[in-house]
Amino acid sequence: MARRSLVVFTSTVLVLLLTGFGVFGKYTFNLLASFGPLIASLTAAGICWRTARQTMGTERAWRLGMATGMGGWFAATAFWTIHQNIFHTQLSSPSLADIGFFSLPISALFALACVAREPRSERRHVRVVLLLDCVAVIGSLLVVIWLTDAGEMFSANAGWNLAHGLAIAHLALNFVLLVFVLMLWLARRVSESLRVQVALLGLGLLILAVSNFLYMYPGATGSHETDFSRFGYIVGPVVIMMAASTTASSATTSATTAVFLRRALMSLPYCVVAVAVAAVAFGFVIRKELDPMALTLGWYISIVVLARQVFILREDRAKLDELASAQAGLVYLAEHDPLTGVANRSYFDRHLAQALQANKHQPEALAIFFIDVDDFKSINDRYGHVAGDTVLTLLAKRLERCVRSDDIVARVGGDEFALLLRAGAWPKSVARRILDAVRQPYSLNGEWVVATVSIGLVELRGDEGDLSADELLAYVDSAMYRAKQSYGAALVSYDISELTIRPRSGQELNADMAAKSSKPA
C-alpha cells in the first residue's frame, strides 16, 4: 500500500509539473485546476477510511479523524466547484462551504491529539516551556501573516467583515495546526512507530496551508490570482493519503537524531521570532512606520519569550539540585554499609588516616575499637540469614547509642564493627556500655536470643610518635582476637604508650601485646 501511494504521489507531481508548463494544453490545465482538488480530497478521505478499518487503537483513531476532515474538505470543495464551474458564480462568504473547510484543521487537531503521548516522569516545567514555545511560534507567525496578508486585507477593506474574519481565522488555524505538528515531532511526543506517519501528515497539512495562503494573498492585495496555487490542493491530500497508507515502523530514533531534535526544539522559537522581527523591520523600511497590530503582538511575544527563559532557568536549577542530590546519594552509598546504615571500611580507614595525620600537628587522644559478634555463624545456621541481618542491624543501632554523634561507627566485615573515638571519651566506659547494651536479647522468629561480642581496644594518648593506620589496626585486631580466645563477651585493651617496641612482624606483634595485655573484662 505504501509503495503504491508513493507511485501515485510521484505520478501526481509529474502530471502537475507537465500540466503547469503547458504540455497538455490550456484546457487540461484549467480542468485539472478545477476538478483535481475535488478528486484528490475524495480519494484521501476514502483511503483514510479504508486504512482505519484495517488498524486499531491510536492508528485507527487518527485515520478516522482525518477521514472526517478530508470528507468535510471534499464537501466544501464540491460546493465551491459547482458554483465556480457549473453555475459560473462566485461563492460568497460566509457559506456552507466554510463549515467543510474548517472541519479539516479541527479534525486534524483531533488526529494529532490521538497520536500525542505523555512522556513518563516529565517535569511540569517542561510542559509549560513547550506550551510557551507554541505560543511564541504561533504569535510570530501571526505577525508574519498580518504583515503579508491580514494587514493588507484590513487596509484594503478599511476594517473587518465576517468574510475576511473567517478567511484569516482559517489561515491562522492552519498555522496553529502546523506548529502543533512540528512541536509534537521535535519534542518526541509521538511514538517511534508513528513518526513517519505524523511527518507525512504534517507535510500534507503544510502544503494545504501554503496553498490557502497563495490563494488568499492575491485577493487581499488585489493582484491576479494564479491557478498554480490550486495544485497544492491536489498534492496535499495525496501526501495525507500516503500518511494513511504508511504502516507503523519498528525503527527507533538514534542518539544523534535525538540530540538534533532536542536542539532544534530549543532553537525553533528563537528562529521564528527572528523571522517575525525581520518582517516587522522590513515593513518599517517599506512603509516608514511600525504597524500597530504587529507591534502589539511583538510585545506579547516578548513577554512569552521572557517567561520561557524564566521557566528554563527554573528547570536548570531543579536539574542541578537533582544532580547534587544524586551525587550526595552516590557518596553516601560509597561510604556506608547498605545493610546497617553505618559507615563502611573505606570511610573508617580514611577518617582514621586523617585523624592520625592531624595528630602529628595537634596531638589528641584516640581510641580504636574492633568488635566481633561471638558465634554469629550459629545464629545464621539456626534462625536464618534474615535473622542474622536483623541482629547486625540492631547491633549497629545499639553501638551508635553508646557513642557520641561525632564518633565513628563502621561495619568493616561480615560480623565485625570498628569504632573511632576522639578526645574526651572514656574508652573503657564506652566498652562496658557496649557489652551491657549488646547483652540485651533480640527477638528472632518469636524467640528471644542473646548475642555477645568480643572487643579489642587500643588507646592512643597523642604523644606516641609516628604510628601508621595499618600498625594501629594490627594492634586492635590482635586485641580483639585475644578477647575471643577468652570465650567471648570480653574486652582486651592496650595502651600504645605501654608498647615501647614497635613490632616488625606478626609473631613479634602478638608476643609484645601478650606481654602487656590486661585481663579480659
CATH 3.30.70.270 occupies which residues in the chain?
345-516
Q: Cα separations (Å) of 40 from 3, 34, 218, 364?
A: 18, 11, 24, 92
In order, the DSSP letters of 223-282 are: PPP-GGGGGHHHHHHHHHHHHHHPPPP-----HHHHHHHHHHHHHHHHHHHHHHHHHHHH
Q: Please tell me which residue in 133, 149, 415, 477 is annotated as part of the active site.
A: 415
Of 18-32, 103-117, 394-408, the range with the lowest mean pLDDT is 18-32
Radius of gyration of the chain from its Cα atoms, rounded to whole angstroms: 41
Residue 456 and residue 401 in contact, taking contact as beta carbons nearer than 8 Å: no
Which residues lie across from 219 on neighbouring strands?
A: none
Q: Say yes or no to pLDDT of 166 above 80.
A: no
Which residues, including other chains, have CB under 8 Å from residue 92's CB and lie 6 or more apart? 163
| Amino acid residing at 195 | R
If one compares 133 and 470, the residue with the highest pLDDT of the two is: 470
Q: Using 50, 70 and 90 to split pLDDT, how confident is the model at 453? A: very high
414-432 mean pLDDT: 88
Rounded to the nearest angstrom, the gap between the alpha carbon of residue 337 and the centroid of all alpha carbons in its chain is 31
Distance CA 453, CA 128 (A): 59
Q: Say yes or no to pLDDT of 519 above 50.
A: no
**Per-residue model confidence (pLDDT) at position 336:** 93
Nearest to 283 by CA among 168, 138, 152, 160: 152
Using a 10 angstrom Cβ sphere, with 0-12 exposed, 13-18 middle and 19 or more buried, the burial of residue 191 is: middle
Total-model pTM = 0.52
Beta 408-411 vs 491-495: how paired, if at all?
unpaired
**Per-residue model confidence (pLDDT) at position 66:** 92
**Per-residue model confidence (pLDDT) at position 36:** 83
Distance CA 368, CA 465 (A): 17
Of 162-166, 362-366, 427-431, the range with the lowest mean pLDDT is 162-166
Q: Say yes or no to pLDDT of 123 above 60.
A: no
Mean residue pLDDT across the chain: 77
189-201 mean pLDDT: 79
The secondary element (H helix, E strand) that includes residue 135 is helix 124-145
If one compares 360 and 58, the residue with the highest pLDDT of the two is: 58
Nearest to 217 by CA among 316, 148, 268: 148
CATH 3.30.70.270 assigned to domain 345-516? The reply is yes
170-175 mean pLDDT: 74
Highest mean predicted confidence (pLDDT) among 48-52, 99-103, 318-322:
48-52
Using a 10 angstrom Cβ sphere, with 0-12 exposed, 13-18 middle and 19 or more buried, the burial of residue 421 is: buried
400-425 mean pLDDT: 90
Is 375 catalytic? The answer is no
Q: Using 50, 70 and 90 to split pLDDT, how confident is the model at 190? A: confident
Nearest to 390 by CA among 407, 406, 373, 368: 373
| The residue to which cell 478521505 is assigned | 45
Would you call 452 helix, strand, or coil by DSSP? coil
If one compares 320 and 144, the residue with the highest pLDDT of the two is: 320
The secondary element (H helix, E strand) that includes residue 453 is strand 453-460
Q: Say yes or no to pLDDT of 16 above 80.
A: no
175-195 mean pLDDT: 73
